[in-house]
A and B are shown apart, each in its own frame.
Chain A
């Protein structure tokens, strides 16, 4: 595949965003 290298980076980005979301949500939950 010609654009082979961009995908792992994109996948890592998607999963990092998920991780950040979970951390932010956990922080929100801990506020009260």
Chain B
């Protein structure tokens, strides 16, 4: 990294943090600190919702995903617009009517204190751990490829986020997210156009898409019914819908974004904005990855994208095996490159033959890559992660992008990490304050005291996130666990809210039994999957968890004798 890159990176981050802190320096009471004075316009809400969801790993991992397996990942977002419509029509009016600060406040008004506390607890556990991983996941990639100290990267993101989230609360989170989204999208557009400009002269935009297409990278829709396959039209529509319903409708880190709206109308428009733009945005990020793939058809890609990991594996007795595979990969690449140039320049009669040759050579290259990964696994005694999709985009950026743009794209990754962490810390603090401290404390507090206590909770959750980020390094499987973490709890939380909104005759105690049974069922399923006794994609946990909560809730209501309070 050059001085210009550092200047762009540090300058962008400090400017955003400074702006957020300065703009929101006068926060006097809970309404302004936790709900941004109900002053947010729809575009701020919309951008804020998108920025909270898109974490750094989205921008590191998604292009790599397209490089490796094509554009099918976009199907994962098909359930989202549908969820936006239902949340906007059913959830938002109720939240506004009850004038709540957190989603869980609604549960006490609808059921009882126990249901509220239990659901808020599930949120705090899952989101508290996830906040740490939001910081850790990009830090590990950045520290591996740039040689930065992992602790430095963890602290940089953690401390910067704490500064403005503590000082300005919800409003600071939203106003900074607006600029962070601008940096993110601006950076991705620059990366896209530069990648296209790096393609050989004979390869225009249409040829690039054609090359991605013949190599199977443009297969967006998969209509097969396969429970193991994570990304099909059906898992996207159904699993994605349930996941989006729980995440946007009941997760405080999202609910808080739209509760800060100036009116119910602004909040709804904010959600519609997200529903309209999310799928095209994800498609675009994947498309950047597909273009990086095309670029690497004419420029030799590394056989394994985690270069330091490869070097480590080479320090073992397997060095000769690895080098042999590297040489074979390189030779196959040259042949394939010539075949592709032949394909582009060939007349329509010869096209098919050249196409088949290129595709066969690509398949051969993929087999060599798989063999190399296996060798690395054996050489390192499985200590090196062989899934290298997270490293594809950043190693491309670092090797080929010009000075200044590298800084800008690192700012994209940091902005994404900070925007989602900020949303999470802000929501964790609100839930701790509103659902636990304020609800259970018998003391009266002034506005100023309440704001100060909320600030203290934000700092504590920030420190907790940094601690989790540090601890994540010690537990290799934690990353994997956290990937499924949301889905472990979301089904239950959604089930509680579904009963709350749609089944008015099911009361608190029955719902609590349903929630406990639902949570235990999902945890059991997960354990069975971990020990390979069954095999279910984690996206289905949301559907199953929600179904069990609702089913058991209904049955319990039919069989338990309602007590006096519940009858009334």
Which residues in A have some Cβ–Cβ distance to B below 8 Å? Answer: 1, 3, 7, 10-11, 14-15, 17-18, 21-22, 25-26, 28-29, 31-32
Task: Identify which of A7, A17, A18 contacts B88 (C-beta below 8 A).
Answer: A7
Contact indicator A10/B214 (Cβ below 8 Å): no
B280 at the A interface (CB under 8 A):
yes
Q: A interface, by DSSP: helix, strand, loop or mixed?
A: helix
Contact indicator B85/A11 (Cβ below 8 Å): yes
Can you give 7 contacting A-B residue pairs, CB < 8 Å? A14-B84, A22-B221, A25-B221, A28-B220, A29-B220, A29-B221, A31-B218
Q: Report chain A residues within 8 Å CB of B279.
A: 18, 21
CB-contacts of B273-329 with A (<8 A): 275-276, 279-280, 283
Known: A10-B272, A31-B213. A25 touches B88 (CB 8 A): no
Which residues in B have some Cβ–Cβ distance to A below 8 Å? Answer: 74, 78, 81-82, 84-85, 88-89, 93, 213-214, 216, 218-221, 233, 264-265, 268, 272, 275-276, 279-280, 283
Q: Provide the bound-state CA to CA distance between A24 and B236, in Å.
A: 16
Contact indicator A26/B81 (Cβ below 8 Å): no
Q: Provide the bound-state CA to CA distance between A18 and B83, in Å.
A: 12
Which chain B residue has the least Cβ–Cβ distance from A32? B213
Q: Report chain A residues within 8 Å CB of B82.
A: 15, 18
Known: A3-B265, A7-B268, A21-B280. A29 touches B219 (CB 8 A): yes
Contact indicator A32/B81 (Cβ below 8 Å): no
Known: A29-B221, A32-B213. A11 touches B74 (CB 8 A): no
Known: A14-B84, A15-B81, A18-B82. A29 touches B272 (CB 8 A): no
Contact indicator B84/A25 (Cβ below 8 Å): no
Contact indicator A18/B213 (Cβ below 8 Å): no
Q: How far is the CB of A26 from chain B (nearest CB, A)?
A: 5
A sample of 15 more A-B contacts (CB under 8 A), given A14-B81, A26-B220, is A7-B88, A7-B89, A7-B268, A11-B85, A14-B84, A14-B272, A14-B276, A15-B81, A15-B85, A17-B81, A25-B283, A26-B221, A28-B220, A29-B221, A32-B214
Q: Provide the bound-state CA to CA distance between A22 and B280, in Å.
A: 11
Q: How far is the CB of B85 from chain A (nearest CB, A)?
A: 5
Q: Provide the bound-state CA to CA distance between A7 and B82, in Å.
A: 14
Most chain B CB inside 10 Å of its own CB: which residue of A7, A17, A26, A29? A29
Q: Report chain B residues within 8 Å CB of A32.
A: 213-214, 216, 218-219
Q: How far is the CB of A29 from chain B (nearest CB, A)?
A: 5
Q: Provide the bound-state CA to CA distance between A14 and B88, in Å.
A: 12
Q: Report chain B residues within 8 Å CB of A25.
A: 74, 220-221, 283
Q: How far is the CB of A21 from chain B (nearest CB, A)?
A: 6
Q: Provide the bound-state CA to CA distance between A31 and B74, in Å.
A: 18
Q: How far is the CB of A6 from chain B (nearest CB, A)?
A: 9
Q: Provide the bound-state CA to CA distance between A10 and B89, in Å.
A: 11
Q: Report chain A residues within 8 Å CB of B216.
A: 32
Contact indicator A29/B218 (Cβ below 8 Å): yes
Contact indicator A18/B218 (Cβ below 8 Å): no
Q: Report chain B residues within 8 Å CB of A3.
A: 265
Listed from nearest, the 8 A-B pairs whose CB atoms lie closest are A25-B220, A32-B213, A11-B85, A26-B221, A18-B81, A29-B221, A14-B275, A29-B219
Task: Identify which of A7, A17, A22 contacts B276 (C-beta below 8 A).
Answer: A17
